[in-house]
């Protein structure tokens, strides 16, 4: 195993981190995942890739993503989502429902990543990707009108 692979294997115990710290990590993991996915599917100019990635990573898109996966979550995962939704970081934006849901999703992603539950994380993110494909078609259609 390379040093780079070992870098992601961590002895950090997610349960000992604040929910906002989990969201911080989750934001990075989620964004990187969809940036790479976008590169694979949209081999065009970076402006197009950026706009496509925004469908996934903006708060509004993350709220939709959370709605897509909620019914598939275990009780443990639901607890993390609930904590993320009610976190101090989520409340910074006041009553912004999109931001609260985005923080909740990021907390879950960070938690699963740091627990090393990569298959589960990929399973959930693939559900998001499959659903967002329909948003992408709508966005492309709307941009032509």
Comparing 17-21, 72-76, 80-84, 140-144, the range with the smallest average pLDDT is: 140-144
pLDDT confidence tier of residue 5, bands split at 50, 70 and 90: low
pLDDT for the residue numbered 90? 74
CA distance 25 to 42: 25
* Catalytic entry in 3, 27, 95, 131: 27
Cα 86 from chain centroid (whole Å) = 17
Comparing 28-37, 79-88, 111-120, 130-139, the range with the smallest average pLDDT is: 130-139
Which 8-state DSSP code applies to residue 94?
T
Residue 145, SS3 per DSSP: coil
CA distance 56 to 139: 12
Which two three-digit tokens encode residue 69?
Answer: 């996966």
CA distance 121 to 126: 9
76 against 141, higher pLDDT: 76
134 against 120, higher pLDDT: 120
User: Which tens digits make up the pLDDT trace of 89-125?
Assistant: 777 776 789 999 999 999 999 999 999 999 999 999 9
Q: Are 86 and 126 in contact (CB under 8 A)?
A: no
pLDDT at 10 over 90: no
pTM of the predicted protein model: 0.84
**CATH code for the domain defined by 15-140:** 1.10.1520.10
Q: Are 102 and 63 in contact (CB under 8 A)?
A: yes
User: Which tens digits make up the pLDDT trace of 21-63?
Assistant: 999 999 999 999 988 888 877 666 677 777 778 888 888 999 9
Catalytic residue list contains 27: yes
């Amino acid at each position: 195993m390379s040093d780079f692979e070992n870098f992601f294997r961590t002895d950090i115990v997610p349960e000992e981190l604040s929910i906002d710290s989990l969201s911080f990590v989750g934001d990075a993991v989620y964004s990187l995942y969809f940036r790479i996915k976008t590169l694979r599917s949209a081999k065009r100019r970076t402006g197009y890739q950026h706009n496509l990635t925004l469908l996934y990573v903006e708060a509004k898109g993350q709220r939709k993503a959370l709605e897509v996966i909620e019914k598939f979550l275990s009780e443990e995962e639901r607890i993390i989502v609930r904590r993320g939704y009610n976190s101090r970081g989520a409340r910074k934006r006041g009553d912004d429902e999109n931001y609260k849901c985005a923080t909740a999703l990021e907390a879950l992603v960070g938690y699963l990543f740091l627990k090393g539950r990569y298959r589960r994380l990929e399973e959930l993110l693939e559900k998001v990707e499959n659903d967002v494909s329909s948003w992408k078609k709508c966005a492309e259609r709307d941009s032509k009108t």
